Structures are given as structure tokens and as C-alpha cells.
Amino acid sequence: MADAINYKGNSPCRPYCGDPALTATPSWGTLRKRPDSRGVVSRFLKGQGMDNSLTTSARWRQGLGAAWPICLGYLPLGIALGVLARQAGIDPLGIGLMSLLVFAGSAQFIAVAMLAAGASVGAIVLATLVVNIRHLLMSSALAVYLRGVGPGFLALFAYGITDESFAVNMTRFRSGDWDRWRALIVNQAANAAWVLSTVAGAFLGELIPAGAFGIDYALIGMFLCLLVFQLRGAFHLFTALVAGALSVACYLAVPGDSYVVVAAVAAASAGFLLQRHKRRGRR
Amino acid sequence: MSMAFADYLFLLAAMGAVTYLPRWLPVFLLSRRPLPSWLIDWLDLIPVAVLAALLAPALLADSAPRALNLGKPELLVAVPTLLFALKTRSLGGTVLLGMFLYWLTGIVL
């Protein structure tokens, strides 16, 4: 299994090379004629219209091979959320439905806490929006690798864009050996793990000892390694350091969850400007 | 929970909608037109920025109440985990090593 997830994340690659169908830049005409928008799910299950160099089982194996650290990391989080939901008077069906319809970890924790405190629907929805606005950034970055893909696929794919699936899929797309179907498997496997672990937490959470097997470190470990994959030179290192410092500063100074968006936008802009400045200087 | 099931479903639908929209809108709008090269360059730095922004508070700060803490076991474990990731570039191995070391600190410290 280790071999399947051992790869170099830093090979130079142009965008869209993961999906041969997209290597030619589609014009507006061909965009409309692509049959993508119809029957995404059935085509996915039948394996039609994909990169034919991969068998269906290889696609699933690789997709699930990329997804398992996410699933592992979701287990303690989901169980913890299930326990809290139960304490807030939400039954296993209720929390399972929330995981299915919302699928956003931190927003769900906040929602459960607000429900327990008797907050209004409007306040909970507003908090959810604020917490999840950061996905605008991730969705934008993923769009670079999903050029010319039909709206049906995008509608399904967008549902599964989380911090974790974004980080895993971006690293794989960047390495060149990745396509949107395997990326979709990552999204949906993570979703399944999330729904199941929250429901499991609601049913039997109190039986599982907190912090078993160091599992609370799974997502931090995954983010650390993905960060290493993303460090592809001085500008990326600079951006990471600025983002980390700003994020901690915002986290300490401003209540709420704006620190991720604020720090990421500011740091990426700083890195971008530095890159521009240096490139201009070279000319 | 004092809420009726229908009200709860309405809450979930509204939460789902405001979560889905920021996930869907950029990928829908940006994937159907050529992006200017400066935007691609900027977006190229977004993953590393997001990852660092997510990680730094988890390693360097307490959550309740929020305070700087340079002595967290999370940070201590991050050092060998990061070195292992640099050396092996194995995602699964890094996750398992991090978990093992974190479990160890729970026993030792």
C-alpha cells in the first residue's frame, strides 16, 4: 500500500495534463458539445469517457489509496462530533443527515454547539457561511485543473471540496499523474468516511477512548506532508512562512475562523508580488 | 434539541446551500474561460498558503482560550514528522509516524 502513495509531488507539469481529454484547450463550441453534463454518475460507474490507460479497478485503487489518510483523520473528528450532537439532543439520523447535506467539519461543530445553546436558524446559517467562505479559494485553485469540464461533473465534484480533499487532490494534480475521476473518488470516499464516523459517534462514541492510537494527529500529519509536497522553491517557502505567521497572528487577535482566508490570501499575494518583482528584475 | 424535525431539515438545507455555493461558484465560473497567467500564478501559491495557515495555529497555539504556546506536543512531534516527510515523501508513512509519535508523547509526557 505504501508504494501506491509514494510519489514525487514536485515534478513540473502544466495544468490539465492529468486528463488527456483536456490537453487541447476547448473552444466555446466544443465546450457545449461535450457530453459531460448528462449522466455523470452512470458514466462514472460504467467507466465511460475516461482516461483509457487506467482500468476501473486501478482508478478506484488509486483514488482510495489517496483518500485513506483523510478517512483516518475524519474518524476521531466525526466520532467527537457525533458524541457532541448526541449531547445536544440530535439523534444519529439527524447528525448523519447534517454530514450528508453540509459536509463541512468545523461548520458542523459550530452548528451543534449553537443548537445546544439555543441559537436561531439565521445565526447558525450565517456562521456556517462565514466559516466555509474559505472554500472559494480552494475551488478557484482547483478550477485550473478542471478546464472545460461539464457542469454536471463540476456540480458533483464541488460538493466534496474540503480542506483535506483539496490538499490531496491539488498535490496529485500538480504531480501530473491524476485526473478528475480519481479526484472525485477521493472526495466521495472522504464524504462516506465523514458521514459514517459522525453516525458511529452518535451511536457508540462514549465507548471509544479519546485519543486512541494517536489518531488525533492524523490530519496534522497529513497536512505536514502535503505542505512538504507543495514547497517547490523559494517563493513557495516564503509564502508558507508568511501564511503561518499571519495565521497565528490572526488566530490570536481576531475571534472566529477568518484566520485561514485572511492569512492565505495575504501570503499568496505577498509571494506572488515577490515572484513578479524578482522576475522583472531578471529581465 | 427543542427543534421540530421539519425546522431542523430546513436548517440543514440552508446550511448546505451556503456551504455548497462557495465550493461550486469558482470552479463553475473559472473552468469555462481561459484564466489570465497572473491569476494562475497567484492560484498556484494558494495551496501552500492554505496548508500553512491551517497548520500553524494547530502547532503553535492553544484553542481555548486562544494563546501562543511554543511547547505543544503537536509542535514537538511535527519536527521529526516533517523531516520524515522531506526524506521519504511518503504521505501514508508520514501520517502513521506522526500518529505513533503523538501517541508516544501522550504516554511519556
Report yes or no: A202 and A91 within 8 Å, Cβ to Cβ: yes
Report yes or no: A26 and A149 within 8 Å, Cβ to Cβ: no
Which residues share a beta bridge with B67? B62
Residues of chain B found within 8 Å of residue A129, distances taken between Cβ atoms? 18-19, 22
Disruptive mutation site among B21, B38, B54 for chain A (greatest number of A CBs within 10 Å) = B54
Tell me which residue in B2, B30, B96 faces A143 most closely, judged by beta carbons.
B30
C-alpha neighbours within 13 Å on the C-beta side of residue B51: 30
Q: Are the Cβ atoms of A217 and B66 closer than 8 angstroms?
A: no
Q: Are the Cβ atoms of B51 and A167 closer than 8 angstroms?
A: yes
- A253: pLDDT confidence band, cut at 50, 70 and 90? very high
Disruptive mutation site among A90, A224, A254, A257 for chain B (greatest number of B CBs within 10 Å) = A224
Reduce the DSSP state of residue B35 to 3 states and report it: coil
pLDDT attached to residue A88: 86
- Report the mean per-residue pLDDT for chain B: 92
Q: Are the Cβ atoms of A267 and B51 closer than 8 angstroms?
A: no
In this prediction the ipTM stands at: 0.89
Closest residue of chain A to B32, computed from CA coordinates: A148
A2-16, A27-41, A94-108: least confidently modelled range? A2-16
Nearest to A58 by CA among A156, A190, A178, A165: A178
Q: State how far residue A59 is from chain B, nearest Cα, in angstroms.
A: 18
Whether the model clears a pTM of 0.90, i.e. scores above it, the answer is: no
pLDDT attached to residue B7: 93
A161-165, A187-191, B32-36, B93-97: least confidently modelled range? B32-36
Cell numbers given for A24? 487541447
Q: Which whole number is the average pLDDT over A32-58?
A: 62
3-state SS, chain A, equals: CCHHHECCCCCCCCCCCCCHHHCCCCCHHHHHHCHHHCCHHHHHHHCCCCCCCCCHHHHHHHHHHHHHHHHHHHHHHHHHHHHHHHHCCCCHHHHHHHHHHCCCHHHHHHHHHHHHCCCCHHHHHHHHHHHHCCHHHHHHHHHCCCCCCCHHHHHHHHHCCCHHHHHHHHHHHHHCCCCHHHHHHHHHHHHHHHHHHHHHHHHHHHHCCCCHHHHHHHHHHHHHHHHHHHCCCHHHHHHHHHHHHHHHHHHHHCCCCCHHHHHHHHHHHHHHHHHHHHHHHHC
Nearest to A139 by CA among B29, B68, B96, B1: B29
Nearest to B16 by CA among A183, A134, A184, A111: A111
Q: State how far residue B33 is from chain A, nearest Cα, in angstroms.
A: 8
- A19: pLDDT confidence band, cut at 50, 70 and 90? very low
Q: Are the Cβ atoms of A245 and B56 closer than 8 angstroms?
A: yes
Closest residue of chain A to B17, computed from CA coordinates: A102
Question: DSSP string spanning B47-84?
Answer: HHHHHHHHHHHHHHEEETTEEE-TT-HHHHHHHHHHHH
Contact of B108 with chain A, judged by CB distance below 8 Å, is answered with no
Count CB-CB contacts under 10 A for residue A58. Answer: 12
Q: What is the pLDDT of residues A50-89, one digit of tens each?
A: 655 678 899 999 999 999 999 998 988 888 889 888 888 8
Report yes or no: A182 and A172 within 8 Å, Cβ to Cβ: yes
For residue B2, the 8-state DSSP code is -
CA distance B56 to B69: 11
Report yes or no: A141 and B43 within 8 Å, Cβ to Cβ: yes
Report CA A164 to chain centroid distance, whole Å. 4
- A27: pLDDT confidence band, cut at 50, 70 and 90? very low
pLDDT attached to residue A66: 93
Q: Which of residues 111-150 of A touch B (CB under 8 A)?
A: 111, 115-116, 118, 121, 124-125, 128-129, 132-144, 146-149
Q: Are the Cβ atoms of A224 and B81 closer than 8 angstroms?
A: yes
Q: Are the Cβ atoms of A158 and B77 closer than 8 angstroms?
A: no
Closest residue of chain B to A148, computed from CA coordinates: B32
CA distance A28 to A75: 43
Residues of chain A found within 8 Å of residue B48, distances taken between Cβ atoms? 227, 230-231, 236, 239-240, 243
Tell me which H or E stretch contains B99: helix B91-108
pLDDT attached to residue B87: 95
Which residues share a beta bridge with B63? B66
pLDDT beyond 80 at B12: yes
Q: What is the pLDDT of residues A192-245, one digit of tens each?
A: 999 999 999 999 877 777 667 787 888 899 889 989 988 989 999 999 999 999
Sign of CA dihedral A228, A230, A231, A237: negative
Q: Which of residues 52-91 of A touch B (CB under 8 A)?
A: 66, 68-69, 72-73, 88-90
pLDDT attached to residue A218: 85
Cell numbers given for B43? 492560484
Report yes or no: A82 and A205 within 8 Å, Cβ to Cβ: yes
Tell me which residue in B20, B57, B98 faces A158 most closely, judged by beta carbons.
B20
